[in-house]
């Protein structure tokens, strides 16, 4: 009996000691593995994140972009980023993954006109804002609204702001024209008229800066 109890105590201490050692080593091992796993994916994912951006930009950029400003957006709604490069006097539209790459010139025989801003919204609609001033000191802004269809760009809207008296807004899809005249909000008068239904003009068939949408005026 005396011999058995010390033996059992010794065995119990040995088992406890092995269990403690085993627990300590198991706790330490996952710590090392977790650190390794956290480091490897971070390095591996970095090229994947950058690669699509570089590819989209390269595909969408016009060949002779010069030093113009660039605007990116999905013009033809195919999931790829397209590019418009523009200066004060021209714009070039390039649609990624296609052969569409066209340049358009701003023309205005009677005024000093410049492109001041181009935007592309989430539906691919392009807005081209131009600002002008003529020799008599009059100035204003024109906004050409364009969308891609049938493998070309078509004018679907036009806004003409003559400072300070008259604003005209043409919606060539709904065939409505809104005219606001007056020097102040209190004195202004708004009228809405119906436009004639005629085929949409391609952007390449009009002169940006000189085109005024008069062809659509008048009730059908």
For 138-192, write each residue's pLDDT tens digit. Answer: 778 899 999 999 999 999 999 998 766 788 999 999 999 999 887 666 777 889 9
Which pair of structure tokens corresponds to residue 133? Answer: 């001033």
For 38-55, write each residue's pLDDT tens digit. Answer: 443 444 444 444 433 332
Cross-strand bridge partners of residue 171? 157, 176
Please say whether the beta carbons of 143 and 128 come within 8 A.
Answer: yes
Burial degree of 210 (CB within 10 A; 0-12, 13-18, 19+): middle
Please say whether the beta carbons of 146 and 203 come within 8 A.
Answer: yes
CA dihedral sign, ordered 16, 20, 23, 29: negative
For 95-148, write each residue's pLDDT tens digit. Answer: 999 999 999 999 988 888 999 999 999 999 999 999 988 777 677 889 999 999
Buried b / exposed e across 5-36, counting CB within 10 Å, b at 16+?
eeeeeeeeeeeeeeeeeeeeeeeeeeeeeeee
pTM for this entry: 0.68
DSSP category for residue 202: B
């Amino acid at each position: 009996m005396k011999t058995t109890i010390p033996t059992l105590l010794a065995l119990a201490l040995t088992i406890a000691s092995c269990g403690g050692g085993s627990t300590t080593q198991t706790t330490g091992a996952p710590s090392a593995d977790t650190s390794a796993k956290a480091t490897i994916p971070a390095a591996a994912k970095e090229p994947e994140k950058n690669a699509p951006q570089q590819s989209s930009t390269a595909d969408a950029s016009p060949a002779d972009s010069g030093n113009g400003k660039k605007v990116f957006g999905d013009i033809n709604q195919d999931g790829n980023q397209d590019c418009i490069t523009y200066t004060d006097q021209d714009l070039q539209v390039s649609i990624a993954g296609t052969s569409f790459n066209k340049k358009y010139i701003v023309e205005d025989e009677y005024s000093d006109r410049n492109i001041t801003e181009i935007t592309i919204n989430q539906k691919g609609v392009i807005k081209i804002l131009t600002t002008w001033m003529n020799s008599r000191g009059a100035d204003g802004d024109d906004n050409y609204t364009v969308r891609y269809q049938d493998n070309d760009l078509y004018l679907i809207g036009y806004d003409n702001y003559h400072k300070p008296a008259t604003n005209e807004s043409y919606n060539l899809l709904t065939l409505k024209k809104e005219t606001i005249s007056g020097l102040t909000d209190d004195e202004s008068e708004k009228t809405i008229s119906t436009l004639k239904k005629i085929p949409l003009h391609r952007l390449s068939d009009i002169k940006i800066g000189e085109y005024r949408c008069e062809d659509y005026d008048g009730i059908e």
